[in-house]
Structure 1
Amino acid sequence: MNTLHAECFEHPLTEDDWSGQVSRFSLGWVTMRISGALTGFVNVAWDGGVHAFLLDTMMTSTLRRKGYATLLVEEAVTHAKTSGCEWLHVDFDPHLRGFYFDRCGFVPTDAGLIQLR
């Protein structure tokens, strides 16, 4: 997981405890594996109520732009709905606008952000 995250978010490899993190804070997550290797991931965090949050959508570079990440998000949406959530939020960098709005069905909303670091 750390290797995939470093590749997708272009940072040095870390030793984060992904298993502990997603187990404590997530409604669920969706993964994609090929021959046992982790190639895709999306995390669905939540507030314990009706709001879920899509985080860390990742697809290894060799499989991007082939529809696999869209399938991961679709699966996450399905499970968030069946879990009783009313809303699924997502934040993203501007270059991913077409992916989330055109391919995944999210709609633009007003939102606020405070940078803490």
Structure 2
Amino acid sequence: MAIAYQWRADFTNEALNALHAEAFGPGEDAADWYAQVHRHSLGWVCAHDDRRLVGFVNVAWDGGAHAFLVDTTVARDRRQSGVGAELVATAVREARAANCAWIHVDFEKRLSPFYFEACGFSPTAAGLISLH
């Protein structure tokens, strides 16, 4: 079955918490993703295979020119199949349609080929302060 990619699609917290835990490891508590993205995001992209959530990316923003990819997540059995790249491509199209001038992403070094080669990001200097 074909995977459907949808901007600002409905999802359940249960499904996204399970997908997020699969990608990043179990969290301390289940998050209220639904409230969080509706309150703080430009949008998000969901990838569904039939009714199953197999991918997600959140597009946070500053309310103006800058959008930020957060929590790009793909189900383990769908990785290396283009799902992540299509999630990002959809997010880029929608951020552009919202008149954002830039879309930012930070990631672990091991994900460089995905973001630079599969998604077309350019390397840039950036700074980070850990708050933990």
The two structures have a TM-score, normalised by structure 1, of: 0.97
Equivalent position SS for 2:127: coil
- Over the matched positions of the two proteins, sequence identity in percent amounts to 51
Aligned to 1:34: 49
Q: Which amino acid aligns with 2:121?
A: F
Structure 1 unaligned residues grouped into runs of 5+: none
Deviation at 1:12, TM superposition (A): 4.1
Equivalent position SS for 1:72: helix
Equivalent position SS for 2:93: helix
Equivalent position SS for 2:94: helix
Deviation at 1:34, TM superposition (A): 1.3
Tell me whether 12-21 or 65-74 shows the greater mean CA deviation. 12-21
Equivalent position SS for 1:66: coil
Equivalent position SS for 1:100: helix
Give the distance between the partners of 1:13 and 1:61, measured in 2 at CA. Answer: 21
Aligned to 2:80: 65
CA RMSD of superposed structures (Å): 1.0
Give the distance between the partners of 1:23 and 1:63, measured in 2 at CA. Answer: 26
Spell out, residue by residue over 1:18-61, the C-alpha distance to the aligned partner (whole angstroms, 9 max, x if none).
00000011000000111211110001000001000000000000
User: Does structure 1 residue 76 correspond to structure 2 residue 86?
Assistant: no
Q: Aligned pair count?
A: 117
1:92 to 86, 107, 111: 107
Where does structure 1 differ by over 4 angstroms across 4 or more consecutive aligned residues?
A: none
The two structures have a TM-score, normalised by structure 2, of: 0.86
Tell me whether 18-27 or 6-15 shows the greater mean CA deviation. 6-15
Equivalent position SS for 2:60: strand
